[in-house]
């Protein structure tokens, strides 16, 4: 989707340049002076667009890109109609999205296999138990309070890690427990927390189908197909 946002940024930038007046012609290799506000703004916009294109991995032909800017800003005959240009952009976006989808699917297969191997090795370790769903858990501290139900509101401290030990979320790091309903979280949490008495601390080893499956949460280190590990401390069951 970053490619889609990038193209939108380019269009916006061209509109801004247009509002600043017509572009000055510049021979290839000739240094452009940055003396007036218009010159500085034009360069700043060009720099921003170029940096974003580079970051997004969008390769452009500089001469063709420059020609399009000049043609639009100077009112020359355009080499493409709006419909043709939009179709080219749409085709590019579709191709990139298909490529990204294939990459994500391949990653998911890899992470799923890694998770299955981890769980196969983990189930034989001392203290590790497994439920019928495939959820694995280990008791660190056993509390003596009541157990929550599938719809209980709970207050917990927790730390979530990937199989390589990377922490992706931690209430301990934030210095504040989390409160939520057990019907509002991933299935591994809903099941795992119901095994715990108030005051307990468990390790939960959650296979991908009880976590996020192939729908990885955006903006997270969690990828599709990943098995997750949580250290969870049940502090309170809220009324």
Catalytic status, residue 168: yes
For the chain, what are the domain ranges? 2-79, 112-238
Q: Catalytic site residue 212? A: yes
Q: What pairs with residue 155 in β-bridges?
A: 179, 236
Residue 115 pLDDT > 80? yes
Structure tokens at 90: 């749409």
Is 11 considered catalytic here?
no
Alpha-carbon span 41 to 196, nearest angstrom = 61
Give pLDDT tens digits for 145-182.
999 999 999 999 999 999 999 999 999 999 999 999 99
Of these residues, 65, 118, 169, 180, which one is catalytic? 169
pLDDT of residue 25: 45
Query: What residues contact 110, with CB distance under 8 A and at least 6 apart?
Result: 225
Pick the CATH number of 112-238 from 3.40.718.10, 3.10.50.40, 3.40.630.30, 3.30.70.100: 3.10.50.40
* Residue 17: pLDDT over 90: no
Reading the block at residue 42, the tokens are 């034009």
pLDDT of residue 62: 87
Exactly one of 202, 205, 230, 237 is catalytic; name it.
230
Q: What is the pTM of this model?
A: 0.67
Active site includes 169? yes
For the four alpha carbons of 141, 153, 148 and 118, in that order, the dihedral sign comes to negative
Per the model's pLDDT, the better-predicted residue between 17 and 49 turns out to be: 49
Per residue in 88-103, pLDDT (tens digit) is: 989 988 998 898 888 8
Name the active-site residue from 212, 222, 229, 237: 212
137 is catalytic: no
Exactly one of 111, 158, 202, 205 is catalytic; name it: 158
Whether the pLDDT of residue 31 is over 50: the answer is yes
Closest residue by Cα to residue 209 from 238, 187, 235, 179: 187
Antiparallel, parallel or unpaired: β 201-206 and 167-170: unpaired
On whether the CB atoms of residues 221 and 162 are closer than 8 A, the answer is yes
Name the token pair of 5: 């946002």
- Candidates 65, 92, 168, 180; catalytic one: 168
Distance CA 117, CA 185 (A): 25
**pLDDT score at 186:** 96
């Amino acid at each position: 989707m970053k490619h889609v946002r990038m193209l939108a940024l380019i269009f916006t930038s061209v509109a801004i340049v247009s509002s600043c007046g017509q572009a000055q012609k510049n021979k290839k290799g000739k240094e452009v002076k940055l003396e007036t506000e218009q010159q500085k703004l034009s360069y700043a916009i060009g720099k921003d667009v170029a940096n974003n294109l580079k970051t997004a991995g969008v390769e452009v032909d500089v001469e063709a890109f420059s020609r399009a800017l000049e043609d639009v800003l100077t009112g020359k005959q355009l080499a493409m109609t709006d419909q043709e240009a939009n179709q080219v952009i749409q085709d590019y976006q579709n191709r990139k999205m298909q490529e990204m989808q294939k990459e994500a699917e391949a990653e998911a297969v890899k992470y799923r296999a890694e998770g299955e191997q981890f769980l196969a090795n983990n189930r034989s370790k001392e203290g590790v138990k497994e439920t019928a769903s495939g959820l694995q858990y280990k008791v660190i501290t056993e509390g003596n309070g009541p157990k929550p139900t599938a719809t209980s509101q709970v207050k917990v401290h927790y730390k979530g890690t990937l199989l390589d030990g990377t922490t992706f979320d931690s209430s301990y790091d934030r210095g504040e427990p989390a409160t939520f309903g057990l019907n509002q979280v991933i299935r591994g949490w809903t099941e795992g927390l119901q095994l715990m008495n108030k005051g307990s601390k468990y390790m939960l080893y959650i296979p991908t189908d009880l976590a996020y499956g192939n729908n990885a949460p955006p903006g997270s280190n969690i990828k599709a197909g990943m098995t997750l590990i949580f250290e969870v401390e049940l502090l309170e069951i809220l009324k």
